[in-house]
Chains A and B, each alone.
Chain A
């Protein structure tokens, strides 16, 4: 959990808005440090977290969360965290030793879409019936959604998935959702058959808060790793879209955010 990011977003583990769909996107850089922030944030807040880790193993997140002060293994044992290890499940599906679960079915047949993945989310996001209701509102974290595009799933199917999840998690259960989307498109390219740009635009339309991470436009710098543009999208009529731009640097145990030109390396 990064304290400076909390103050930028005006949230804290004790008080945060319900029903938020937060979209984290990056272009030519890696924004997964924000996913670690949100993971530790919601675990500290006592929410029931469903994490779809499609690109890294559990031990990776566990090691980093340890440094941020949260123990994932404990959370998993207590039932607060449900973790889908995409890599592990995928082997069963890809290697015709087919004991694969239905969750990663899109690897076997990409045209069938992400139905299996949504079923997993739906089953795990509702609290256990009669069981411990002491966890807060459910949270869904996806890292990252654009990898399914690389595996053959169409943009429409990915957007359907996020729409269904939003309907279940945010509207029905008043929980929150955080998704990471990674883009690679150059600015000059108009025809983007790959679709990560289209996916990003579709998701921006659905979400309530975006954090767009990019490298510095002036080039590579050792002390400033990039910039983050935070954009609150106006949901109600009264609220207008609000944008803020920050620069950041990632440390071993966190990240610091500062206004442009205010990096400690420069001052």
Chain B
């Protein structure tokens, strides 16, 4: 008996226009089948991939929709940027919408088809190409490794029926509504992909993605200096409140919070917020031990959490925690996020030449895992993890104490 559609977990109750069978499994959950997501094995939550399969494994299968991942940046913000890029590239490949906010680099570079400066500093080489845009290509996304690189054309989602194939399925008509196996980008039924960091994503692929950008210098003209009209002082500086307002506006306009009627197919919004809490956002959290707006970032994160819980979106936030002197503040920030990891790279430190660490680029610490709709969370077996960025994979491996035993590895 052919089970309709989903490979894992409970199927959806949605009816398809080309559904030729009236058989539908009864299910209590209202999981919608959105491309690029799947229900978690542990608790049935809808999860998306972070773009790095080993990171998915470490945080319990993937990022749950409606939650927030905090990445504590490494010293030079190289690997945390890489993780953010993986996250966004995964969104492009799965067909999700993107929202990128940065105070440093313009998010619109992602859509530019021109070749730009490709800074390959992880390999110590710089490949200079035609520079049409001198700004660093912050969001040049790594190229996905697909099985068959057919001519990349944007096709409709696999759910829509092909008239010819309907005639073709006369015997196996129960399989009519299963998605066709396609090699090009349109359907990505796999969960999690691999990316080649030495190449950048084809402009046709990245242009197919809908991306909303928030570049702080553009919005700062709309920001007026706070006049003393209100008696109390709002805890959030204008930068954060304008970001929050813009994000809410995008969520509402594109219908991620469920206000759009059912005819439009559901999609996930991937939100990437780069380097919050740094001085570029107008926050002095990283500059002083007793910041004047000590609660700015935490209030923003509270508002962001409220927004995520009520919409179909996932957020990744990077924070330069090594600049924050007040450890208690970092604890507050961590507790307001759901999943939190910290990166510590060896580059530039004395550990780089230490033979103990020669196989790795840095350490990864899982600071917090969320309890979502259940009492337990998937606690990891081993807490000391190290990462290595290879050309085709970002691997996270267990334990430098086990470095003598190369057979003991985390499944990647």
- Contact digits for A93-108, partner B, Cβ 8 Å, 1 yes 0 no: 0111100000000011
Q: Is A159 an interface residue (CB 8 A)?
A: no
Q: Is B233 an interface residue (CB 8 A)?
A: yes
Number of contacts between A and B (CB, 8 Å)? 115
Contacting chain A: which of B74-82, B93-101, B301-309, B390-398?
B301-309
Q: How many Å from the CB of B26 to the closest CB on chain A?
A: 18
In the complex, which residue of chain B has the Cβ closest to the Cβ of A93?
A: B303
Residues of B within 8 A of A90 (CB): 302-303, 306
Contact between chains at A110 and B295 (CB < 8 Å): yes
Q: Is B231 an interface residue (CB 8 A)?
A: yes
Q: Is A8 an interface residue (CB 8 A)?
A: no
Contact between chains at A109 and B231 (CB < 8 Å): yes
Q: How many Å from the CB of B314 to the closest CB on chain A?
A: 15
Q: Is B373 an interface residue (CB 8 A)?
A: yes
Contact between chains at A150 and B248 (CB < 8 Å): no
Would you list which residues of chain B between 375 and 405 have a CB under 8 Å from chain A? 375-376, 379, 381, 383
Contact between chains at B371 and A30 (CB < 8 Å): yes
Total interface residues in chain A, CB < 8 Å: 48
Q: A91 contacts which of B230, B233, B235, B248 (Cβ < 8 Å)?
A: B248
Q: Is A64 an interface residue (CB 8 A)?
A: yes
Q: Is B327 an interface residue (CB 8 A)?
A: yes
Would you list which residues of chain A between 9 and 47 have a CB under 8 Å from chain B? 30, 32-33, 36
Contact between chains at A151 and B375 (CB < 8 Å): no
Bound: A78/B194 CA distance, A:
51
Residues of A within 8 A of B336 (CB): 55, 147, 150
Contact between chains at A64 and B331 (CB < 8 Å): no
Residues of B within 8 A of A189 (CB): 327-328
- Contact digits for A179-222, partner B, Cβ 8 Å, 1 yes 0 no: 00010111001001110100000000000000000000000101
Kindly state the interface size class of chain B when it binds its partner: 35 or more
Bound: A96/B242 CA distance, A:
10
Residues of A within 8 A of B371 (CB): 30, 32
- Contact digits for B96-108, partner A, Cβ 8 Å, 1 yes 0 no: 0000000000000
Bound: A196/B158 CA distance, A:
52
Q: How many Å from the CB of B242 to the closest CB on chain A?
A: 10
Bound: A186/B302 CA distance, A:
24
Contact between chains at B306 and A91 (CB < 8 Å): yes
Q: A94 contacts which of B299, B310, B372, B375 (Cβ < 8 Å)?
A: B299
Contact between chains at A94 and B241 (CB < 8 Å): yes
Bound: A255/B295 CA distance, A:
35
Q: Is A88 an interface residue (CB 8 A)?
A: yes
Q: Is A60 an interface residue (CB 8 A)?
A: yes
Q: A57-B309, A59-B373, A254-B375 are in contact. Are A151 and B383 (CB under 8 A)?
A: no
Q: B303 contacts which of A30, A95, A111, A184 (Cβ < 8 Å)?
A: A95
Contact between chains at B306 and A152 (CB < 8 Å): no
Would you list which residues of chain A between 211 and 236 have a CB under 8 Å from chain B? 220, 222
Contact between chains at B328 and A185 (CB < 8 Å): yes
Residues of B within 8 A of A252 (CB): 374-376
In the complex, which residue of chain A has the Cβ closest to the Cβ of B42?
A: A252
Q: Is A253 an interface residue (CB 8 A)?
A: yes
Residue of B230, B233, B299 with highest tally of chain A CB at under 10 A:
B299
In the complex, which residue of chain A has the Cβ closest to the Cβ of B247?
A: A95
Residues of A within 8 A of B235 (CB): 107, 110, 151-152
A/B interface sample: 28 pairs, CB < 8 A: A33-B375, A55-B305, A55-B336, A60-B373, A63-B374, A90-B306, A91-B303, A91-B310, A94-B302, A94-B303, A95-B248, A96-B241, A109-B234, A110-B295, A111-B233, A147-B302, A150-B298, A150-B332, A152-B235, A184-B332, A186-B327, A189-B327, A193-B290, A193-B328, A194-B329, A220-B383, A222-B381, A252-B374
Which residues of B are interface residues toward A (Cβ below 8 A)?
230-236, 241, 244-245, 248, 290, 294-295, 298-299, 302-303, 305-307, 309-310, 326-329, 331-332, 335-336, 371-376, 379, 381, 383
Q: Which 9 A-B pairs have the closest CB atoms?
A: A109-B232, A184-B331, A152-B295, A87-B306, A63-B373, A194-B328, A150-B332, A150-B298, A94-B303
Task: Given contact pairs A94-B302, A109-B234, enumerate 15 new A-B contacts (beta carbons under 8 Å).
Answer: A33-B375, A90-B303, A91-B303, A94-B241, A94-B306, A109-B231, A109-B233, A111-B232, A149-B332, A151-B299, A151-B302, A193-B328, A196-B328, A220-B383, A252-B376
